[in-house]
Amino acid sequence: MKKVTDYLVQLGLSEIEARLYQGLLEISPCTVMDVADHVSVKRITAHFGIANLINKGLVSESRRGARRRIVVEPPEHLNYLIEQKEKNIKRIKNDYPDILKTIYSSIFQTSAGESINIKYYEGKDTIKSLYKEILSAKKIYAFVNSNKIQAIFPENATMFDKALKYDPEKEIWDIFEATKETRKIVKHRIDRHHYCFFPPNVAFSDFDFVIFDNSVAMIYLHIDKPYAIVSHSQAMASGLKAIHSIVWKVLSGAGY
């Protein structure tokens, strides 16, 4: 059933939702407690997971008096999720001209008279110091290749969590690749670390793009020779922040 689970996760279900759905296919109609015991999850976890499955049209509920029973819909209802994915991809494509317009108007055309300061960083220790500099900002927006970062800078996740804990005004908005490893990592992230995912079939680049203060960092995540280019430009930072905002609005409601 692992192949089925992987497919359900690609459709936008969490691993818990996928387990509950498969359990319901086996024993539905049943109570929440029945399916929670069947797939070995806590009742409260099953309750929220089933609520999500109801919203996605994969299960329904029936009541006889005070007794609530969960009924799984036919597997053909999975096609609804596929249709939603197609609509989201279409929306992303439709927004592409606006993103291009933002790039050309805000990034490649800086404010008149603006001085752009470019810095170059090379090597793991130097990039570590750059990440610490980034964490001094109150608001951080990023397109993140979490798998690459974890391989090269495994201490980053702890460092970012500590920064959020020590500074109650700090917030981070990350857009991740939708990999299993990344999903496991973000489950343990604290409040004020907001995140969403690219569609499962979208592969991200080897760069970590970070917008902070009036700066943009493009960090090349090479396992042996990482380097970064940091542009201190209000116009460029504003332009990339606008792009991040557009992508965030599209993806945050997609449920990837």
Tens-level pLDDT at each residue, the chain (256 residues): 668 888 888 888 888 899 999 999 999 899 999 999 999 999 999 998 998 899 888 999 888 777 789 999 988 888 888 888 788 778 777 777 776 666 655 555 555 555 678 888 989 899 999 999 999 999 999 998 888 888 888 888 888 888 888 888 899 998 888 777 777 766 666 678 888 888 776 666 788 899 998 899 999 988 888 899 998 888 888 888 888 888 888 887 655 5
| Domain that residue 15 falls in | 2-73
| 238 shares a domain with 122 | yes
3-state secondary structure of 15: helix
Task: Return the CATH number at 36.
Answer: 1.10.10.10
- Are residue 53 and residue 108 in the same domain, yes or no? no
Same domain, 155 and 224: yes
How far, in Å, CA of 176 to CA of 44, rounded?
Answer: 28
The number of domains in the chain is: 2
Are 151 and 69 contained in the same domain?
A: no
Residue 95 and residue 214 in one domain:
yes
17-32 b/e (C-beta count within 10 Å ≥ 16 → b) = bbbbbbbbbeebebeb
For residues 168, 170, 176, 178, the Cα torsion angle rounded to the nearest 10 degrees is 10
| Same domain assignment for residues 47 and 103 | no
**pTM confidence score:** 0.56
Centroid of chain to Cα 253: 11
Cα–Cα distance for residue pair 18/52, rounded to 1 Å: 11
Q: One-letter amino acid identity for 112? A: A
In terms of domains, do 30 and 143 share one? no
The CA distance from 46 to 26, in Å, is 15
Residues 95 and 36 in one domain: no
- The last residue of one of the domains, among 73, 102, 126, is 73
Q: Are residues 121 and 247 in the same domain?
A: yes
